[in-house]
Amino acid sequence: MAVSSIPARSDDPTARPTRAPRRPRGEGQWALGHREPLNPNERTKKDDNPLNVRARIENIYAHRGFASIDPADLRGRFRWWGLYTQRKAGIDGGRTAVLEPHELEDEFFMLRVRVDGGQLSLAQLRTIAGISEEFARGTADITDRQNIQLHWVRVEDVPEIWRRLESVGLQTTEACGDCPRIVLGSPVAGVAEAEAIDPTPAIDEIVRRYVGDPQYSNLPRKFKSSISWLVDTPYEANDIAFLGVDHPEHGPGFDVWVGGGLSTNPMLAQRLGVWVPLAEVPDVWAGVVGIFRDYGYRRLRHRARLKFLLADWGIERFREVLEKEYLGRTLLDGPAPQLPDKPVDHIGVHRQRDGRHYVGGAPVVGRVSGGQLAKLADVVQAHGSDRVRLTPYQKLLVLDVAPERTESLVGALREIGLEARPSAWRRGTMACTGIEYCKLAIVETKARGEELVARLEERLRDFDADISIHLNGCPNACARTQVADIGLKGQLVVGPDGRQVEGFQVHLGGGLGMAAGQTSGFGRKLRGLKTTAEELPEYVERLARRYLAGRHEGEAFAQWVIRVDEEELR
């Protein structure tokens, strides 16, 4: 006799009716049919492709001014063209999370210029310098993603800025937004003695094919890429990274890493375990972006990065979906890359494969100016070069210098504030934009970084070790806080008088796998280990002196941090 699935009637009037099991809530994955907009960002993108806002900027907003800008464009779609409203001056960090966006923002913009692979010609450098001087009050910051950021930009001037940038082959297309951001590349691609393949053609092809393509302009969130033969980009912190490797049968190609990202929930990229020849890099890149677009989580904004999908799927399933659904072929298994003996940052004087040299110089925490870039262009030209490169560490290089001209160039760079033989402190310190311009920031970073470097150079000028110090104005880790020797996350702390002041939570001993023997990992957070901004130089100096006094022979700072008692780190 068949058994009915209908529950028996209960004579108990208080009994609750049996409910059908609740269906699990979807994560907003398009490939699974969850296409309804699930948060305000998704609704904005569904209402109008953000790429379309350029026409409104050129035809309406540039003529009618800031007040005419639709809020959905202003705080959403403008980003696809490299534009963010900047923070209104005078608003302290304690109000960052309290005020509404329109209360925080000024009527000026930060404009991010894409410099894919970090490659600039002399004409491009002069154009950026001119735009900075004429339209951005002389501002120009080198970011840790090889971009140039300008500030104080008016919407009325944006069309003319675009015209000038595009006349020399630069663009701001998708420099921000939920789309493929700048592609990081080795600043010495094509000239490095140790390079077997110049990946520049793959970077150029990706930008040509896919940047500005509507089929890739609506991703769940931002997508960060890196392509380099050398281990000189932070590959483990990207959504996708291609790293040079020699296959025992097929020769030089690229190892693939996916799912990296920091911010408030940091995860390191994982090896896909495949070998990809140079010609196939753009297709594999597009396949991974396609997975993110179609399977990425769109319901909750804070879970909308590729790293969360990879964490749930695992690397084996991710590879299977890539091969079967997006490439239609099986990828070759490949070996892991060989890491160099020590990390590479290209600062100083180095030989190129053609016998000429390149010279790497360091500003302080990436802060330069339009006037300084104009002077740099003059110096570069005077030394017979036409090529400048930006690094993912807020530094810059001059390529193609005759051996006999290198010392002259080193001196000329020093005269304009760029040091090719910097202290360990200038060399290893980075800072994000901070509260000066960023609406998300809680504390000042650039000025604090400059003060910190100056103090440490004064007190510990002959420091003989490499220590990376990354200052971030909020928890979002734009300056890669968690993977620095000393990572400083901006927050309000209690000062000596009991009042809240600017300060930092301290992360110690983080790092990426940039050299043989290095272990990737996030910095150690000790309970209650914070410092006020005013006390920061004294704290770092004390920590550095303890390291010098207590380290074992050859012991790196990160290794020392793991070994010593907590009291040594306070």
- Look up residue 181 and give its two tokens: 């951001």
Would you say 173 and 82 are in contact if contact means Cβ atoms under 8 Å apart?
Answer: yes
Residues 150 and 145: their CA atoms lie apart, in Å, by 14
Residues 519 and 226: their CA atoms lie apart, in Å, by 20
Residue 209, pLDDT score:
98
Cα dihedral value 184, 186, 189, 195, nearest 10: -130
Cα dihedral value 560, 564, 567, 570, nearest 10: 10
| DSSP 8-state code for residue 338 | P
Helix or strand run (H / E) with residue 320:
helix 315-321
- Tokens 């009291």 belong to 567
Residues 68 and 537: their CA atoms lie apart, in Å, by 45
Would you say 398 and 412 are in contact if contact means Cβ atoms under 8 Å apart?
Answer: no
Residue 5, pLDDT score:
36
505 - beta bridge partners? 489, 530
Looking at the chain, the number of H-run helices and the number of E-run strands are 17, 21
Listed as ranges, residues in the chain with pLDDT below 70 are 1-24
pLDDT in tens, 495-518: 999 999 999 999 999 999 999 989
Residue 8, pLDDT score:
39
Residues 373 and 127: their CA atoms lie apart, in Å, by 10
Residues 27 and 287: their CA atoms lie apart, in Å, by 21
Cβ neighbour number for residue 289 with a 10 Å cutoff: 24
Q: What angle do CA 255, 259, 264 make, to 5 degrees?
A: 140
| Average predicted confidence (pLDDT) for the chain | 95
pLDDT in tens, 134-182: 999 999 999 999 999 999 999 999 999 999 999 999 999 999 999 999 9
Residue 23, pLDDT score:
57
User: 256 in the Ramachandran plot: left (φ > 0), alpha (ψ -120 to 50) or beta?
Assistant: beta
pLDDT in tens, 213-231: 999 999 999 999 999 999 9
176 closest CA partner among 139, 125, 223: 223
For 502, how many CA atoms within 13 A lie in the half-sphere containing its CB?
A: 23
Helix or strand run (H / E) with residue 209:
helix 200-210
User: 239 in the Ramachandran plot: left (φ > 0), alpha (ψ -120 to 50) or beta?
Assistant: alpha
Residue 15, pLDDT score:
52
